[in-house]
């Protein structure tokens, strides 16, 4: 039996961000966590920065009562094959591997464990993530609450059925990329209008960050806030009319739906 409460397989950026939030927020004590990763440099980083136990063998965290699978989807199959014999029948198994449904994890583990799937996003790296939790085979309400508490250390959480994960992936999982894409365009336009690149970048980033905070804190619908900025016949109206004429909103809708479709395709693999 493991002496650790949580075993983490994979020490990438997302796992590191989660562990920093969990330990910093006193959700778990650093002594109750063990992490496995094949890269010596990553193990040393976590040991030095967070003072948690690190190992090379995935079987060590796999024997814990709670196991977090934080490896890339393309290697998850090999990892599951290796750890299946040591996973406890009553273990909680949490996966953040994109595109891998819980039924495939369940099959690979031979029906062992209570399985949940989480879709976090990259703002978790700065404590502002959005993580969606979906229950899988044998997961309980207590499991959901525990996982929500874990990921809430790095942002906000909500629970959905696994059938909604593809939509979640397209909106919040891929969403930061759409946001950065918009800021790229704003910066390019500002530079074309004569601003220095550094000035343009700072203004665009702060404007978007402030707008996102305004939306989150007021609870107003985005179309209402947009209307308040858009004076009739003014500069904003001209910009919005240009965006509408170019079909930007329709293109974004198609892009998000294409991402959801691709997520469904990956889940069939």
226 and 147 assigned to the same domain: no
Contacts of 138 (CB under 8 A, 6+ apart): 113, 114, 115
- Of the residues 125, 141, 163, the one at which a domain ends: 163
Phi, psi of 101 (to 5 degrees): -70, 155
Q: How confident is the model at residue 268 (pLDDT cuts 50, 70, 90)?
A: confident
The per-residue pLDDT of the chain, averaged, comes to 95
60 within some domain: yes
Residue 92 belongs to a domain: yes
Q: Are residues 19 and 74 in the same domain?
A: yes
Please give the tally of structural domains in the chain: 2
Domain termination residue (choose one: 100, 133, 163) = 163
For 24-55, the pLDDT digits (tens) are 999 999 999 999 999 999 999 999 999 999 99
Percent residues over pLDDT 70 in the chain: 99
CA distance linking residue 23 with residue 145, whole number of Å: 18
Residues 186, 64 share a domain = no
- Phi, psi angle pair for 244, to nearest 5°: -65, -40
Mean pLDDT of the 165-179 span: 94
Q: What distance lies between CA 189 and its chain's CA centroid?
A: 30
pLDDT digits (tens, 9 = 90+) for 62-86: 999 999 999 999 999 999 999 999 9
Instruction: Give the CATH number of the domain where residue 110 resides.
Output: 3.40.50.720
Instruction: Tell me which of 163, 182, 213 is where a domain ends.
Output: 163
CATH number at residue 204: 1.10.3730.10
Q: How confident is residue 1, by pLDDT bands cut at 50, 70 and 90?
A: low
Q: Are residues 122 and 38 in the same domain?
A: yes
Residue 269, pLDDT score: 66
Q: Which residue has the tokens 């990553």?
A: 42
Residue 168 lies in a domain: no
113 with 229, same domain? no
Same-domain pairing of 33 and 145: yes
> Based on the domain organization, do 205 and 224 belong to the same domain?
yes
Question: Are 259 and 202 found together in one domain?
Answer: yes
- The verdict on residue 1 lying in a domain is no
Judged by DSSP in three states, 25 sits in coil
Over residues 186-222, the pLDDT tens digits come to: 999 999 999 999 999 999 999 999 999 999 999 999 9
Checking if the pLDDT of 247 tops 70, the result is yes
Assigned domain for 122 exists:
yes
Do 69 and 142 belong together in one domain? yes
pLDDT score at 51: 95
Domain match, 177 and 141 both = no
> Does 88 map to a domain?
yes
- The answer to whether the CB of 235 falls within 8 A of the CB of 67 is no
Task: Tell me what pLDDT residue 106 has.
Answer: 98
Give 153 or 2, the one with higher predicted confidence. Answer: 153
Q: Kindly state the percentage of the chain with pLDDT values over 90.
A: 96
Domain with 231 in it: 173-268
Q: Are both 118 and 70 inside the same structural domain? A: yes
Answer yes or no: do 156 and 179 share one domain. no
């Amino acid at each position: 039996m493991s002496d650790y409460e949580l075993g983490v397989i994979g020490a990438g950026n997302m796992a590191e961000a989660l562990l920093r939030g969990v330990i910093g927020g006193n959700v778990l004590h650093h002594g109750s966590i063990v992490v496995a990763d094949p890269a010596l440099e990553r193990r040393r980083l976590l040991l030095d920065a967070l003072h948690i136990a690190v190992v090379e063998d995935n079987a060590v965290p796999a024997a814990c009562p709670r196991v977090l699978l934080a490896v890339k989807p393309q290697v998850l199959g090999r990892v599951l094959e290796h750890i299946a014999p040591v996973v406890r029948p009553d273990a909680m198994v949490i996966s953040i591997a994109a595109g891998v449904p819980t039924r495939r994890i369940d099959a690979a583990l031979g029906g062992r464990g209570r399985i949940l799937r989480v879709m976090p996003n990259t703002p978790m790296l700065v404590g502002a993530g959005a993580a969606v939790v979906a229950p899988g085979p044998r997961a309980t309400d207590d499991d959901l609450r525990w996982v929500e508490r874990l990921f809430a250390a790095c942002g906000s959480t909500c629970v959905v059925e696994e059938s909604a994960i593809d939509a979640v992936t397209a909106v919040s999982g891929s969403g930061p990329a759409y946001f950065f894409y918009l800021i790229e365009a704003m910066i390019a336009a500002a530079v074309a209008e004569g601003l220095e690149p550094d000035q343009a970048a700072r203004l665009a980033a702060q404007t978007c960050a402030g707008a996102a905070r305004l939306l989150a804190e007021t609870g107003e619908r985005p179309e209402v806030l947009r209307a308040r900025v858009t004076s009739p016949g003014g500069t904003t109206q001209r910009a919005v009319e240009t965006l509408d004429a170019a079909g930007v909103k329709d293109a974004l809708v198609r892009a998000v739906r294409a991402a959801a479709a691709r997520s469904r395709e990956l889940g069939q693999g």
